[in-house]
Amino acid sequence: MWEPKRLLVGPAPIDFVSLDDAATSIADRSLRGGVHLCNAYTLALADERSELAEVLNADAANLPDGMPLVWWAKRRGVAWAERVYGPDLMERVLDLGRAFDTRHYLYGSTPEVLVELEAAIAVRWPGAHIVASESPPFRDLTDDEISESVNRAADAGANLVWVGMGTPKQDL
């Protein structure tokens, strides 16, 4: 159930919620829109780059993927705050998503890594539905290239796109 404690941390709100609640809300698609995994580095960049701060302020959720954010929240009375570590979140969503027919699209890294990841997912979470994967060029993409990638994900029937390109590129 998506009921985070949202606190402003520097330039962006962070949603303090349990890993289980975050994963369930993503897998069952009750949480819609961009979800960012934020650490202190992400927030420091957002403090320097207004376009990143705007994205973090506009999207659905910013999860605390760093212990300094958890410590900060605990000092402000959110005793139950916990880290929502990206790999743990992905594992949990892949597992839970099988019950909700979540259709995953993997975006980022190299073709070789994506092949290995898809094989590992098939073994560990049989029935997890990976509709496609894409390895974009390792350079800044044009607006047209980004639009084409979005269209490919939509055409594949994805309702969840995992982006692994590094911060801030993946957030923007």
State pLDDT tens for residues 36-84: 999 999 999 999 999 999 999 998 899 999 999 999 999 999 999 999 9
Answer for the pair 156, 129: CB distance below 8 angstroms, yes or no: no
User: How far is Cα 56 from Cα 15, in angstroms, rounded to an integer?
Assistant: 11
Q: One digit per residue, pLDDT tens: the chain, 172 residues?
A: 678 899 999 999 999 999 999 999 999 999 999 999 999 999 999 999 999 999 999 988 999 999 999 999 999 999 999 999 999 999 999 999 999 999 999 999 999 999 999 999 999 999 999 999 999 999 989 999 999 999 999 999 999 999 999 999 899 8
Residue tagged 């609640």 (tokens) = 21
Contacts of residue 130, defined as CB under 8 A and 6 or more positions apart, other chains included, come to 104, 105, 106, 118, 121, 122
- Whole-model pTM: value is 0.94
Q: Could you give the CA distance from residue 22 to residue 153 in angstroms, rounded to a whole number?
A: 22
Distance CA 151, CA 66 (A): 32
H helix intervals, 40-140? 40-48, 50-58, 67-75, 86-97, 111-124
